[in-house]
Amino acid sequence: MKIAFAILATGSLAALATPAAAQADPDSPFSGFRIQGTTGYDQITAGSSVDDDGNDNNDQSAEGVIYGATIGYDVDLGNIVLGPEAELTGSTADTDYEAGDFEGFGFGNVSAGRDIYVGARIGVKANPNMMFYAKGGYTNARLNVRSSDGTTEFDTNYDLDGYRVGGGLEYAFGKNLFTNIEYRYSNYSKAEVDFDGTLPDSDRFDVDTDRHQVTVGLGMRF
């Protein structure tokens, strides 16, 4: 239901923006379909409601490198740029032992799986080739359950639902090439256990899991 709502919302946003596209500057470097590669720092951690004061050494987090691709469509309305976007990423983040202490964050021995994001962004141009933007939308992430030796052997994962907000800076090298840097924060409040067809999925339950990412992107606009 949340995925369908997010797709409907971003689709409606694109439809509303289409009439304005006819009035946009055709030479704008911030208008049209875009695709980009994305990479950066990824940290998954216990949320603010998780009390881990009993273990001073446990940072309750997993860190790694995010990698993936983003697509979007922007409309330049003058000083404002508006458009929907979607992203598919993976990550090397996983739980680990540090100085004999298990650095878990409430899900046991896991590694980060795929992450799907659907949302929109709005930007303000600082000059003809640079804009600052804010973004927000729906995110669905997976955490793969691992065996005790650290490999992903079990056909089981946690499926997490939440929201994402963030912001960044984008710079256009002419009309077709651009780069950006951004920070995004995600919070996952619902989860279920998926057994990949061997057993029925679990009922959904409450969680409080945060995700912090700092990413850079390089892309093309068409």
DSSP state of 204: P
The pLDDT value recorded for residue 184 is 97
The percent of residues above 90 in pLDDT, for the chain, comes to 55
State how far Cα 121 lies from the chain centre: 13
Which residue's entry shows tokens 């919302």?
Answer: 9
* Greatest pairwise CA separation for the chain in angstroms: 62
Assigned token pair, 39? 């990479």
The pLDDT value recorded for residue 107 is 85
Please name the residues in contact with 166: beta carbons below 8 A apart, sequence gap of 6 or more: 134, 135, 136, 182, 183, 184, 185, 213
Any idea what the CATH number is for the domain that residue 201 is in? 2.40.160.20
**171 has pLDDT over 60:** yes
Residue pLDDT, tens place only, 123-140: 999 999 999 999 999 999
**186 has pLDDT over 50:** yes
Question: How many folded domains does the chain comprise?
Answer: 1
pTM for the whole structure: 0.81
DSSP state of 154: S
User: How many Cβ atoms sit within 10 Å of the Cβ of residue 104?
Assistant: 18
Rounded mean pLDDT of the chain? 83
Domain that holds residue 20: 2-221
**22 has pLDDT over 90:** no
